[in-house]
Amino acid sequence: MKIAIQGANMTIIDAILNDFFWRALLGGLGVALIAGPLGCFVVWRRMAYFGDTLAHSALLGIALSFLISVPLNLGVITTSVILAIALMLFSRNKTLATDTLLGILAHSALAIGLVALSFMPNVRIDLTGLLFGDLLAMNRNDLLWIYGGAALILTLLTVLWRGLLMSTIHEELARVEGVPVERLRLLLMLMFALVIAVAMKMVGVLLITALLIIPAATARRLASTPEQMAAMAVVFGFIAVAGGLSMSWHLDTPAGPSVVVTAFVTFLVVYGGAGRLSTRRSA
C-alpha cells in the first residue's frame, strides 16, 4: 500500500517534471524565491547597474565555457565571480566613477562574449535564448541548479541577515559594531553571481536585473520592515512567473519577456492602487 502511494507520488512528480510547462513553472518559482530577497539588496544598495554588469558578463562566461569545455553554469558563475572581485578592486581606486566603470565592464564583457562566440562556428547556440531567456526549455538539470542554488542562498541570507542589513543601513556603524562589512559585500556579490547563473536560462542576460528589481520595488510600496519587503518581493516574483507563463501559454508570447511584463504590470497596479489608498507614505 505504502509502496503504491509512493509509486503514485513518483508518477505525479514524474508527470510534472516531464511536462515542459510545469518544469518552467517550478524553475521560475525557484528563481523568484531567491530573486526576491536578493533583489531587495540590489534596490537598497543601489546595485541595479552592478547586477546588469554581472548579467552581461554571463555571455562571456558562456563563450568561455564552450572554449574550454566546462558546464555552462560553472563557466557563468566563475566569470561573474571574477568580474565581481575585479569590480571591487577597481572601485577602491576612485579615479573612475562606479557607474562609468560598470558601464565599461558591462558592455565590454557583453561585446567580448559575442565576438568570442563568433569565432566558434561549430558551436550552435541560441543567442536569442541567452539574451532573452528560454524558460520553456528548462530541463531537470536546470531545476537541480536552481533549487540547489536557492537552498544555498536562502541559508546564507538567513544566517547573515542582520549583518547584511546593518551594513546596508549604515556601513560605518556596522563596522564599529563588529560586522565584517567587506566580507559580507563579497558574499553578497557571490550570491548575485549565483542567482544570475541560475536565472539566466529563465529570462536571459538582458532581463535578469528586471527580475531582481521590479518585485522588490513593488514590495517597497506595501512593506514597513525590511523582512516584510523581502517576503513580499518573493510573492510578487511568484505572481510574475505564474502570470508570465500563463500569458506565454495562452498568447504564445516569449516566456522570459512575458514574466517581466507581468512583473511590470503588477508594479503599476500596486503603485497606482496604493497611491490612491494613501498618499502619506512618501518615503
Partner 1 sequence: MSDALVAIENLTVRFGDRPVVDRVNLSLYRGDIITIIGPNGAGKTTLIKAILGIQAATSGRIIRKKNLVIGYVPQHLSLESTLPLSVRRFMLLSGRPLAECESALVRTGVSHLLDASVHHLSGGEQQRLLLARALARKPDLLVLDEPAQGVDINGQAALYDLIRQLRDELNCGVIMISHDLHLVMAATDKVICLNQHVCCSGYPADISHDPAFIETFGRPVAEALAVYHHHHNHSHDLHGNVVDSDHSSPAISHGGSHEDSHTGCQHDHH
| Nearer Cβ to partner 1 (69/95) | 95
| Nearer Cβ to partner 1 (19/227) | 227
Q: What is the dihedral of CA 24, 63, 127, 202, to 10 degrees?
A: 20
Q: Contact letters (x/-) for partner 1, 101-140, by CB under 8 A?
A: ----------------------------------------
- Least Å distance, CB 171 to partner 1, is 9
Contact between 224 and partner 1 per CB under 8 A: yes
- Least Å distance, CB 245 to partner 1, is 28
Q: Which of residues 166-195 bind partner 1 (CB under 8 A)?
A: 166, 168-170, 172-173, 175-177
Which amino acid, residue 265? V
Which amino acid, residue 189? M
Contact between 99 and partner 1 per CB under 8 A: no
* Alpha carbon separation from 29 to 25, 206, 225, 234 (Å, rounded): 6, 19, 23, 9
Beta strands in 48-145 (DSSP E): none
The closest of 48, 33, 32 to 259, measured between CA atoms, is 32
Contact between 162 and partner 1 per CB under 8 A: yes
Choice from 43, 59, 81, 131 touching partner 1 (CB under 8 A): 43
The closest of 206, 205, 223 to 215, measured between CA atoms, is 223
Which amino acid, residue 135? L
| Nearer Cβ to partner 1 (181/190) | 181
Piece in contact with partner 1 (CB under 8 A), picked from 80-88, 106-114, 224-232, 253-261: 224-232
Distance CA 165, CA 153 (A): 15
Contact between 49 and partner 1 per CB under 8 A: no
Contact between 229 and partner 1 per CB under 8 A: yes
| Nearer Cβ to partner 1 (35/72) | 35
Contact between 225 and partner 1 per CB under 8 A: yes
Q: Name the strand (E) or helix (H) holding 190.
A: helix 181-203
Q: Which long-range contacts (CB under 8 A, 24 or more apart) does 188-192 make?
A: 188/41, 188/164, 189/54, 189/81, 189/84, 189/85, 189/87, 189/88, 190/81, 190/84, 191/34, 191/38, 191/153, 191/156, 191/157, 192/38, 192/42, 192/47, 192/50, 192/51, 192/54, 192/80, 192/84
| Nearer Cβ to partner 1 (122/225) | 225
Contact between 94 and partner 1 per CB under 8 A: no
Contact between 278 and partner 1 per CB under 8 A: no
- Least Å distance, CB 282 to partner 1, is 8
| Nearer Cβ to partner 1 (64/210) | 210
- Least Å distance, CB 232 to partner 1, is 10
Q: Could you tell me if 108 and 102 are in contact, meaning their C-beta atoms sit under 8 angstroms apart?
A: no
Give me the residues that bind partner 1 (CB under 8 A), please: 43-46, 162, 165-166, 168-170, 172-173, 175-177, 217, 220, 223-226, 228-229, 283
